[in-house]
């Protein structure tokens, strides 16, 4: 299980990690037009990530008129990058089907994904429209043979450090086999992100008792328990409050429930922040108390800062795609690029394939 010390060490020292590495630089394809702010955030974010991982190389795709002036302000990033002009930018509110029609082959999003497919990049990062990015990724990269549907995995702050939660919105509903695959995909990511041999995994359920829950979840639990996989420590069912507690390293659920949990957590964090802000400004005594407690509040703000955990990983595809939050700032987008670096540097795809080859197939009874 991750604690705060391990989390801080991961953030501060990945560039100096001594684990086995690729001989070649990690190559990242960037959709420069994605997100609410486009190149004004994406390019500085990539530049910040490059400072932490100087061996990275970038393929940047976007509208030259908008990207080139920003890229010129970051000469180190420009020297480590190739740039390709694209005619189309996918809008944040565009329907996935429409994005495929107008953006296939021509958009910055498609070209970044295509770079991964063609072996020109180890990972793609986009802050663009989530539905469009998933649709294009599935169309361009395809899913892995053992995986019916991909998932979005999020790094979730907890009281013990961080956990991985999936699926947080890629697809709705799941059978037993899909739950088992999600457990394997999440554990593979945890092995890389948290640097652990056997991450603990729990299935999100309405109770911890084996008799509770829908049949697909119970069948997936039986399969994982009986398989006793070497690279996955199945801990049984977990409940909603276990996500924030960090009871396991990987929490598995389907996309409908996972997305609601994610949005609920984000809303609760904002609600608590507003309560504290109102309380601290109510009286002069409260304001004075805030001054004395400011270091503690700063630590709390840093812990709850969404930019620290920005970057959802699309798992189950024949390639690595990272989705940055559309409203991420420079620091947040850099965090998404950091995740892309880890996934490429420590060879996520090979880890997933190895673990899937050892995984039994579950069938709901």
Residues 298 and 322 in one domain: no
Residues 105 and 137 in one domain: yes
Residues 298 and 160 in one domain: yes
Give me the CATH number covering residue 232. Answer: 3.40.718.10
Question: 273: domain range?
Answer: 155-307
60-116 pLDDT, tens per residue?
Answer: 999 999 999 999 999 999 999 999 999 999 998 889 998 888 888 899 999 999 999
Torsion of CA 92, 93, 97, 101, to 10 degrees: -60
158-201 pLDDT, tens per residue?
Answer: 888 889 999 898 888 889 999 999 999 999 999 988 888 899 99
How open is the CA angle 181-183-189, to the nearest 5 degrees? 105
**Which of 6, 315, 329, 321 has its CA nearest to residue 158?**
6
Residues 106 and 178 in one domain: no
Q: Which conformational region is residue 122 in: left (phi greater than 0), alpha (psi within -120 to 50 degrees), or beta?
A: alpha
- Which residues have CB under 8 Å from 274's CB, separation 6+? none
Is residue 19 situated within a structural domain? no
Mean pLDDT of 228-254: 92
Is residue 172 situated within a structural domain? yes
Residues 185 and 290 in one domain: yes
Residues 271 and 323 in one domain: no
Residues 160 and 297 in one domain: yes
Residues 49 and 105 in one domain: yes
Which pLDDT value is given to residue 307?
A: 54
Is residue 149 situated within a structural domain? no
Tokens 């979730």 correspond to: 156
Which pLDDT value is given to residue 205?
A: 93
Residues 63 and 123 in one domain: yes
291-305 pLDDT, tens per residue?
Answer: 766 676 666 556 555
Total count of domains within the chain:
2
Residues 221 and 122 in one domain: no
Residues 238 and 349 in one domain: no
Which pLDDT value is given to residue 14?
A: 44
Residues 32 and 115 in one domain: yes
Which pLDDT value is given to residue 170?
A: 86
Is residue 29 situated within a structural domain? yes
């Amino acid at each position: 299980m991750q604690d705060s010390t391990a989390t801080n060490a991961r953030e501060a020292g990945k560039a100096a990690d001594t684990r086995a590495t690729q001989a070649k630089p990690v190559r990242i394809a960037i959709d420069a037009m994605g997100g609410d702010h486009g190149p004004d955030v994406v390019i500085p974010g990539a530049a910040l990530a490059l400072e932490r991982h100087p061996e990275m190389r970038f393929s940047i795709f976007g509208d030259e008129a908008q990207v080139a002036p920003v890229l010129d302000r970051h000469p180190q990033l420009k020297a480590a990058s190739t740039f390709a002009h694209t005619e189309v930018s996918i809008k944040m509110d565009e329907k996935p089907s429409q994005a495929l029609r107008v953006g296939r082959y021509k958009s910055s999003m498609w070209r970044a994904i295509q770079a991964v497919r063609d072996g020109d990049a180890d990972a793609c990062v986009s802050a663009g429209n989530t539905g469009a990015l998933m649709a294009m990724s599935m169309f361009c990269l395809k899913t892995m043979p053992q995986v019916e549907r991909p998932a979005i995995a999020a790094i979730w702050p907890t009281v013990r450090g961080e956990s991985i939660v999936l699926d947080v919105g890629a697809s709705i509903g799941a059978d037993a086999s899909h739950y088992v695959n999600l457990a394997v995909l999440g554990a593979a990511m945890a092995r890389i992100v948290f640097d652990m041999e056997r991450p603990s995994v729990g299935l999100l359920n309405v109770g911890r008792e084996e008799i509770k829950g829908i049949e697909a979840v119970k069948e997936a639990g039986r399969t994982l328990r009986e398989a006793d996989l070497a690279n996955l420590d199945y801990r049984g069912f977990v409940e909603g409050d276990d996500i924030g507690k960090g009871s396991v390293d990987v929490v598995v659920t389907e996309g409908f429930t996972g997305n609601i949990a994610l949005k609920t957590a984000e809303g609760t964090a904002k609600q608590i922040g507003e309560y504290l802000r109102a309380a601290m400004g109510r009286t002069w005594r409260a304001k004075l108390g805030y001054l004395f407690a400011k270091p503690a509040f700063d630590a709390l703000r840093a812990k709850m800062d969404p930019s620290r955990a920005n970057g959802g990983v699309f798992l189950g595809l024949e390639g690595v795609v990272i989705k940055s939050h559309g409203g991420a700032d420079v620091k947040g987008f850099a965090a998404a690029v950091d995740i892309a670096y880890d996934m490429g540097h420590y060879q996520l795809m090979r880890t997933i394939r190895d673990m899937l080859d050892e995984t039994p197939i579950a069938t709901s009874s």
